[in-house]
Chain A
Amino acid sequence: MKKILLMGNPNVGKSVIFSRLTGVNVIASNYPGTTVEYTRGYMRLGNEKVEVIDVPGTYSLSPTSKAEKVAVEMLKQGDLVIDVVDATNLERNLNLTLQLLKDGKPVVVALNLWDEIRHIGILIDAEKLQEILGIPIVPTCAITGEGIKKLVSEIPFAKANTYEYEEEKRWEKVGEIVSCVQKITHRHHTFLERLEDVSIKSVTGIPLALVSLYVVFNIIRFIGEGLIGIIFEPIFENLWAPLIMRLSDFLGNQGFIHDILIGKLVEGKISFVESLGLLTTGLFVPLAMVLPYVFAFYLILSFLEDSGYLPRLAVLVDNVMHRFGLHGLAIIPMMLGLGCNVPGAMATRVLETRRERFISATLMAIAVPCMAQIAMIFGLIGKYGAQGLAAVFGTLLVVWIVLGVLLNRLSKGESPEIFVEIPPYRLPYVGALLKKLWMRTRWFLREAIPYVLFGVFIINVLYSLGIIQFIGRLSAPVITGILGLPQDAVGALIIGFLRKDVAVGMLLPLGLNLSQLVVASVVLTMYFPCVATFAVLIKELGTKDMLKSTLIMISSALIIGGLLNLIL
């Protein structure tokens, strides 16, 4: 099958065009490096079915990061290239176009962000550009779909090697072309541009970042709590509980099947958190405790991504990250990790060196709890007031900092400096934002519910076979001796390999006091990643580094858990 590659500089809208062409939805944002792995899709071209590949962005064909390496490797396999060009930055983008033209694959250019150039006072003569380069040039506005049809119809006219030049004179040639086809007119600064300046200057940017953080946190809590209180809890309590109660009576309120499906009744009633049955806790935890917060978090994250704020935040925190042997961009895997550690681990690819990826992935896996876990910790400890929550998240923050500094000292090698394009602020396009939110929510549901149900099932089986009790006795010196938790807490640690949210939920029936809850929550975050994250980390870091990382996780979890147990 013919392979069509979508290539271009980072953050020019390749993923949006990909979605338009193939109907396959991929995450697109407003910062360079959103796509770190290629995605395949298919489209019809006349009577032929062709493969379309969304390639990570690259500035040139001599790569400087892992994602760019992926791009250059992909080029070898392609039959045709759609070069997506950011019309607002013609010069820098044409530099890659000329390199692609020399590579020998037929090229067609999508001159994207065509709508934006008018706003910023640029005029481009696309026909003249087409004349000079000798390949089809199609102005597009991917986000609204303008020009995509034309682009598809021009694909058969793609040509290779139409523009000859000497390698040393590439920039000169680019300059000539640009001065030939582009005119810049005067214009006034817009409000968004003023905001750009304010949010990246340290004097104004740092206070603004702190205020934004505070606002974001409260919006997430407001939406999360609101959805739970107004929609999900009433549905479960008023509609679902009576049905399940009837089923329970039908099953005789006990027995193995009853325990698996409904779980143990608490004072003759269903407790959605404590019963630990498939139809009770297995559904209530992912849907009514975690989903609302995940939804709220991804709504805000998607907005931040599409607006273009994240790279600016990266510049502001660059200094702090340097203490960890990282640079500012490492804030992106950390932020994504707060949603789910899996995309967080993938996003470590925005960093250039293996050392940085090791440090950032280890730090994230240890000290950044995912939203599912955060939601459960809120549900569990929140009722004791802010003190307990502050203890959990304060500890994790300290661990993040101290471990970051230690890892920087102990890992060999240098860390490079930040070097990144800062995209303009854009008002997020509502349709695209909602689509992304829906994709991520659906992804959560698909990933979470099977694992949660499997986890709940396994707990029941392990308990009834006496295995958890057995491991509990074996591990008592650690669990009780060092961490000060009851033996039964080992069940939560075992299930934590599968799903951290269920694991936190399992602490509730144990009747722990506040300090034990704090210890258990911190240890559950730190000791090991969930199985989904673990699999991605092995892929990203390799077995040897992952083994190192795992040792750090387990030992630091025991040290911190032990210390907390002594202090609290």
Chain B
Amino acid sequence: MEKVDLTQLEEGESGVVVDIQGGYGLVRRLESLGIRVGKKVTKVSSQFMRGPITVRIDNSQVALGFGMARKIIIRVAK
């Protein structure tokens, strides 16, 4: 078991969200698009120069900024 933030996840790798290091506003925004503690996420892509990260949750994909992604802590089974 290893904990990383979402930006450190490799493309194609999955993990479970264990913590969101942000205020209530961020938590609420993320969960409205399905990203919340306990959900499995798979990283689809990242962009050059700290660009947005795209992840898959269930059947949908969400793109989020690098700064936001850094606040999402993932547990990866290695």
Inter-chain CA distance A416–B51, complex, in Å, is 13
Inter-chain CA distance A95–B29, complex, in Å, is 13
Q: Which residue in B49, B58, B67 is a CB contact (below 8 Å) of A319?
A: B49
Measured between beta carbons, the chain B residues less than 8 angstroms from A328 are 52, 63
Q: Which residue in B32, B48, B49, B52 is a CB contact (below 8 Å) of A418?
A: B52
* B45 and A201 within 8 A (CB): yes
Whether a CB of chain B sits under 8 angstroms from the CB of A171 is: yes
Measured between beta carbons, the chain A residues less than 8 angstroms from B45 are 197, 200-202, 205, 315
Binds B, one of A56-64, A265-273, A472-480: A56-64
Inter-chain CA distance A473–B28, complex, in Å, is 61
Total count of chain B residues near the partner, CB < 8 A: 29
User: In chain A between 38 and 65, which residues have their CB closer than 8 angstroms to a CB of chain B?
Assistant: 59-60, 62, 64
**B interface, CB within 8 angstroms of A:** 11, 28-29, 31-34, 36, 44-52, 54, 58-68
* B52 and A315 within 8 A (CB): yes
* A417 and B34 within 8 A (CB): no
Q: Which residue in B11, B60, B65, B67 is a CB contact (below 8 Å) of A421?
A: B60
Measured between beta carbons, the chain A residues less than 8 angstroms from B54 are 200, 315, 422
* B68 and A419 within 8 A (CB): yes
* A89 and B65 within 8 A (CB): no
Measured between beta carbons, the chain A residues less than 8 angstroms from B68 are 417, 419
* A122 and B59 within 8 A (CB): yes
Measured between beta carbons, the chain A residues less than 8 angstroms from B47 are 202, 315-316, 318-319
Inter-chain CA distance A421–B57, complex, in Å, is 11
Inter-chain CA distance A311–B64, complex, in Å, is 12
User: In chain A between 297 and 338, which residues have their CB closer than 8 angstroms to a CB of chain B?
Assistant: 311, 314-316, 318-319, 327-328
Q: Mark A379-422, 1 if CB is under 8 A from B, else 0.
A: 00000000000000000000000000000000000001111111
Inter-chain CA distance A50–B27, complex, in Å, is 39
* A319 and B59 within 8 A (CB): no
Q: Which residue in A60, A200, A418 is a CB contact (below 8 Å) of B65?
A: A418
* A419 and B60 within 8 A (CB): no
* Residue from the set B28, B54, B68 with the largest chain A CB neighbour count within 10 Å: B54
Kindly report which residue of chain B lies nearest to residue A420, judged by CB atoms.
B63
Kindly report which residue of chain B lies nearest to residue A182, judged by CB atoms.
B58
Whether a CB of chain B sits under 8 angstroms from the CB of A120 is: yes
Known: A91-B58, A196-B61, A421-B33. 9 other contacts (CB 8 A): A122-B59, A197-B45, A318-B47, A319-B48, A319-B51, A418-B64, A419-B29, A419-B33, A421-B62
Inter-chain CA distance A197–B42, complex, in Å, is 12
Inter-chain CA distance A64–B32, complex, in Å, is 10
Whether a CB of chain B sits under 8 angstroms from the CB of A92 is: yes
CB distance from B21 to the nearest CB of A (A): 15
Inter-chain CA distance A440–B9, complex, in Å, is 43
Inter-chain CA distance A348–B44, complex, in Å, is 27
Whether a CB of chain B sits under 8 angstroms from the CB of A35 is: no
Inter-chain CA distance A419–B29, complex, in Å, is 9
* A197 and B65 within 8 A (CB): no
**CB-CB nearest 4 A-B residue pairs:** A417-B65, A59-B32, A422-B61, A92-B34
Measured between beta carbons, the chain A residues less than 8 angstroms from B33 are 59, 92, 419, 421
User: In chain A between 416 and 435, which residues have their CB closer than 8 angstroms to a CB of chain B?
Assistant: 416-424
* A418 and B63 within 8 A (CB): yes
Measured between beta carbons, the chain A residues less than 8 angstroms from B59 are 88-89, 120, 122
Inter-chain CA distance A40–B37, complex, in Å, is 39
Measured between beta carbons, the chain B residues less than 8 angstroms from A200 are 44-45, 54, 63
CB distance from B19 to the nearest CB of A (A): 16
Measured between beta carbons, the chain B residues less than 8 angstroms from A314 are 63
Measured between beta carbons, the chain A residues less than 8 angstroms from B29 are 64, 419
Inter-chain CA distance A328–B46, complex, in Å, is 14
* A318 and B51 within 8 A (CB): yes
Q: Which residue in B46, B60, B65 is a CB contact (below 8 Å) of A92?
A: B60
* A197 and B44 within 8 A (CB): yes
Inter-chain CA distance A423–B68, complex, in Å, is 20
Measured between beta carbons, the chain A residues less than 8 angstroms from B31 are 95, 171
CB distance from A174 to the nearest CB of B (A): 10
Inter-chain CA distance A365–B67, complex, in Å, is 30
Inter-chain CA distance A59–B60, complex, in Å, is 13
* Residue from the set B28, B29, B51 with the largest chain A CB neighbour count within 10 Å: B51
Inter-chain CA distance A315–B50, complex, in Å, is 12
Measured between beta carbons, the chain A residues less than 8 angstroms from B32 are 59-60, 64, 92, 95
